[in-house]
Amino acid sequence: MADYLDVDARPILRAGGEPFSAIMAAVGRLQEGQGLRLYAPFKPVPLFTVMADKGFAHSASELGGGEWEVLFTPVGAKPETTPIAASNSPFAAWPEPVVELDNRDLDPPEPMVRILAAAEKLGPGETLSSLLRREPVFLFPQLEKRGFRWLGGFRPDGATYELTVRAPS
Amino acid sequence: MIGGSISRWTMTYFAAALTWLLAALALMVAGIGHPAADLAAPDTLVLVHVVCIGWLSVAMCGALFQFVPVLVAQPLFGERWVLPALVLLTAGLVSLLAGFMALGARLPSAPWLLPLGALLLVAGFGLVVVDLGLTAWRRPTGPARFVLVGLASLCATAAFGAVFAFALAGWAGRMGDAVLARGIPLHAIVGLGGWLTLTAMGVSYRLLSMFMLAPDVEDRKSRLTLAAGALAVAATVGGGAIAIGLELGLNIVLSIAALFGLACAALYGRDIAAIFRTRKRRHLELNMRMAMLSFASLAATGLMGTALVSTRTLPLHLGAFAFLAAFGWLSGLVLAKLYKIVAFLTWLETYGPVMGRAPTPRVQDLVAESRATKWFAIYYVSVWMGTLALLAAEPGAFRIAAAAMMIGVVGIVHEIIRIRRLEDVASTLRLPAGAVAPHLLFAKT
């Protein structure tokens, strides 16, 4: 039975923070043969490649409410690599939002219109953030078609959804 | 693929459903089926199945293919099953109706038509149930649970129907004949009450809170509402099957189901009232005002059922009771929501790709509510008049009410086509550079 170090990325992301450095710091603290147990408010697919490069296999299970538990288990010897440049990794720190929108009291679908209008004005790699009442399910396909990336989740009170959108760089 | 993508064939389902609704109204205006004929007469069976399968079930399936992925924020399990399901449902319904017409000697006798129709319908609904069920199962919370219970009820309804079809063809043996002789109320209750009503309730929770900016109904409360509804369905199916198998009376079973059903309707009323009370958007759009008339019709259906049972006149007025449930509550709600859903999906399909890059109209710029209001008003008033005509056993007055309903529905359909064709959008905004006009019958994206 492997021993795992727990990292909960949910509060970091909820507070608008960047979990990559915390996760990498934890990976650096792991004992020989020890794995990492990560809790995240979404399935952290980009991290799987990063961890695979570091010699970890992953197994992800959904906890409900869109949250995930992922077990990273070391497979064989860790290949000794240079630290991945944060700017190239999919979990690299996103820059501070250049636009902050509060769309909580707008009639739907006005929040979507405003977010797309603001997103179109972002420079390459820039981000915007928005507060919403609910998960903007109809917005996501539009963002995806335009090549934007996004991170989002409800605050612990469940009444406010925080969304960060990043323009393609 | 993401949960909020536009469902390609939802408009096709809506168009097919509205065509069947117009066909049903034409039958009523022509005086075919109840009240001119007996409730169990073949002509009435034609009318009832055009309404419940052709209109209500097809419209509901079209809406669910769009909204179940939204409810669970997951893509639809099998997008490519959607159109084949509609083809199977349409072919099955046509075959079933031909079978009923043969029973009534309107067509040459062909006993195989009913079983064929039943098999095609079971195949079509089977695709729908598997596709939507597996999608909803990915995140079975809140409204998605109503859909799951609704789909289970659809399975039970279709199973009863298939046994009836084989029994009418003489292929179901003694047990099948026993089910046919006594199971019809169970088939009707599980279909109208379980499949159509519980599903409409579930979807309405999310649509109402979404469009009125209200917090979602607490899980604890909606779960209680669903539990009452699910117990009504379970009592009907389970208790009914046992009663038929043991050759006992159905009255106790139906009374228990009615009590659970009333409790479910009352709890639903409480939940909907809470959504209206806590809404942030004070102004109510037309679809919400019209939905309120269908909630009133649901309440009236409950009161009428209670009154008819307590005066022991339910068997006499079953037609009026079912008519108000089907046209006041379910059809009224579906028409009101169709009006909004078509406008929203058309707006999203046409302007989503250019939003933020060019000026685009608002959703409300696609509709002309003041013009549409009168068609909805005509529809609801004539439904209530029709109910009174049925209670008073006045077939002539009923046909006049049906003709007025037809006028209302033709007006609403005309408005929906105008929405789809962007005819009410100011010409300067209609098609900004990069936007593509939508097709009337399906989504291009």
pLDDT tens-digit series, residues B85-130? 999 999 999 999 999 999 999 999 999 999 999 999 999 999 999 9
Contact A116 B348 (CB under 8 A): no
Burial of B94 (0-12, 13-18, 19+ CB in 10 A): middle
Residues of B in contact with A135 (CB under 8 A): 73
- pTM score: 0.85
Read off the pLDDT of residues A35-74 as tens digits, 9 standing for 90 and up: 888 988 887 877 877 787 788 888 888 787 778 888 888 8
Contact A137 B70 (CB under 8 A): yes
**Which pLDDT score is estimated for B381?**
98
**Which pLDDT score is estimated for A91?**
53
Contact B73 A144 (CB under 8 A): no
Give the residue on A whose Cα is nearest the Cα of B356: A117
Residues of A in contact with B139 (CB under 8 A): 64, 66
Q: Of B157, B169, B146, B162, which is closest to residue B64 (Cα–Cα)?
A: B146
Q: Which of A64, A135, A145 sits opposite B73 (nearest CB)?
A: A135
- Mean predicted confidence (pLDDT) in B260-278: 95
Q: Could you tell me if the ipTM is greater than 0.90?
A: no
**How far off is chain B from A152, nearest CA to CA, in Å?**
13
Helix B10-29 and helix B395-420, axial crossing angle in degrees, nearest 10: 160
Answer whether residue B424 shows pLDDT above 50.
Answer: yes
**Which pLDDT score is estimated for B1?**
44
Contact B353 A142 (CB under 8 A): yes
Answer whether residue A2 shows pLDDT above 70.
Answer: no
- To test the contact with chain B by mutation, choose from A133, A145, A154 the residue with the greatest count of B C-beta atoms within 10 A, namely A133
Read off the pLDDT of residues B232-249 as tens digits, 9 standing for 90 and up: 999 999 999 999 999 888
Helix B42-49 and helix B10-29, axial crossing angle in degrees, nearest 10: 150
**Chain A residues with CB within 8 Å of chain B CB:** 64-66, 105, 107-110, 112-113, 116-120, 133-142, 144-145, 159
Give the residue on B whose Cα is nearest the Cα of A104: B213
- Mean predicted confidence (pLDDT) in A82-107: 69
- Strand A35-40, strand A4-8: pairing: parallel
Residues of A in contact with B6 (CB under 8 A): 141
Residues of B in contact with A140 (CB under 8 A): 2-4
Close Cβ partners of B172 (under 8 Å, ≥ 6 residues apart): B163, B166, B179, B180
Contact A108 B211 (CB under 8 A): yes
What is the rounded distance in angstroms from the CA atom of residue B279 to the CA atom of residue A151? 28
- Mean predicted confidence (pLDDT) in B317-346: 96
What is the pLDDT confidence band of residue B298, given thresholds at 50, 70 and 90? Answer: very high
Tell me how far apart the 2 most distant CA atoms of chain A are, in Å: 55
Contact A109 B347 (CB under 8 A): yes
Answer whether residue B409 shows pLDDT above 60.
Answer: yes
Residues of B in contact with A66 (CB under 8 A): 73, 139
**How far off is chain B from A114, nearest CA to CA, in Å?**
7
SS3 string, chain B, reads CCCCCCCCCHHHHHHHHHHHHHHHHHHHHCCCCCCCCCCCCHHHHHHHHHHHHHHHHHHHHHHHHHHHHHHHCCCCCCHHHHHHHHHHHHHHHHHHHHHHHHHCCCCCCCCCHHHHHHHHHHHHHHHHHHHHHHHHHCCCCCHHHHHHHHHHHHHHHHHHHHHHHHHHCCCCHHHHHHHHHHCHHHHHHHHHHHHHHHHHHHHHHHHHHHHCCCCCCCHHHHHHHHHHHHHHHHHHHHHHHHHHHCCCCCHHHHHHHHHHHHHHHHHHHHHHHHHHHCCCCCCCCHHHHHHHHHHHHHHHHHHHHHHHHHCCCCCCCHHHHHHHHHHHHHHHHHHHHHHHHHHHHHHHHHHHHHECCECCCCHHHHCCHHHHHHHHHHHHHHHHHHHHHHHCCCHHHHHHHHHHHHHHHHHHHHHHHHHHCCCCCCHHHHCCCCCCCCCCCCCCC
**Which pLDDT score is estimated for B122?**
98
* Average per-residue pLDDT for chain B: 94
What is the rounded distance in angstroms from the CA atom of residue B165 to the CA atom of residue B92? 12
**Which pLDDT score is estimated for B74?**
84
Q: Which of B3, B6, B356 sits opposite A116 (nearest CB)?
A: B356
Residues of A in contact with B280 (CB under 8 A): 105
Residues of B in contact with A159 (CB under 8 A): 215
What is the rounded distance in angstroms from the CA atom of residue A125 to the CA atom of residue A87? 11
**Which pLDDT score is estimated for A81?**
42
Contact B360 A113 (CB under 8 A): yes
Contact B213 A108 (CB under 8 A): yes
Residues in chain A: 169
Residues of A in contact with B363 (CB under 8 A): 109
Contact B353 A105 (CB under 8 A): no
